[in-house]
Amino acid sequence: MSEANKRLELDAKDHPESYNIEELTGNESKVIEMDLMLGVADLNTLEAVAAAESVISSCQPAISLAADGKDTDTDLDESSTEDDNEDDGIRSGDAGNDGRKPSSLDDEKKKGKS
C-alpha cells in the first residue's frame, strides 16, 4: 500500500491538473465516485469485536466489558430472571440501564418528532 501511495504522490506532482478536484474543466463525468477508507482495525479479541460493533450500531455492548477482570456470569444469571419478568419491551441484558432504553434511542425519537 505504501508503494501505491508513493506512485500516487509522484503522479500527482507530475500531473497536478488530473488531481485538482476544486477546479472544473468541463470534461468531468456527471457522477463523482468517492471511495473513502475510514480505517482498518485488527479485532483480535471478543472484547474488541464487541466494542467495534457497539460503536457501529450505537447500542450497548454485546458482551460485558468488566474492567476489574471479575467473572460476571453470576451477575448475568441473577439479572436474567429479573429481566424475564419485565414486560416493558426492552430486551434483556441492558448493561446497567435498569430497563431503560439507551439515550441514543430517545434522541432518535426527538429528532423524528421535530
What DSSP character marks residue 62? S
Decide if 79 is inside a domain. Answer: yes
Decide if 77 is inside a domain. Answer: yes
- Whole-model pTM: value is 0.25
Tally of residues, the chain: 114
Q: What is the spatial distance between Cα 51 and Cα 38, in angstroms, rounded to a whole number?
A: 17
pLDDT, residue 32, reads: 72
pLDDT tens per residue, range 28-82 = 778 777 777 666 677 888 888 888 888 888 765 556 666 545 555 555 555 555 5
Give percent of the chain with pLDDT exceeding 70. 46
Contact 59, 102 (CB under 8 A): yes
Decide if 62 is inside a domain. Answer: yes
Contact 61, 95 (CB under 8 A): yes
Decide if 53 is inside a domain. Answer: yes
Give percent of the chain with pLDDT exceeding 90. 10
pLDDT, residue 1, reads: 84
Decide if 102 is inside a domain. Answer: no
From the list 10, 60, 4, the residue with the least C-alpha distance to 37 is 4
Decide if 106 is inside a domain. Answer: no
* Structural domain containing residue 56: 39-86
pLDDT tens per residue, range 89-107 = 545 454 555 555 555 555 5
Decide if 48 is inside a domain. Answer: yes
**Count of domains forming the chain:** 1
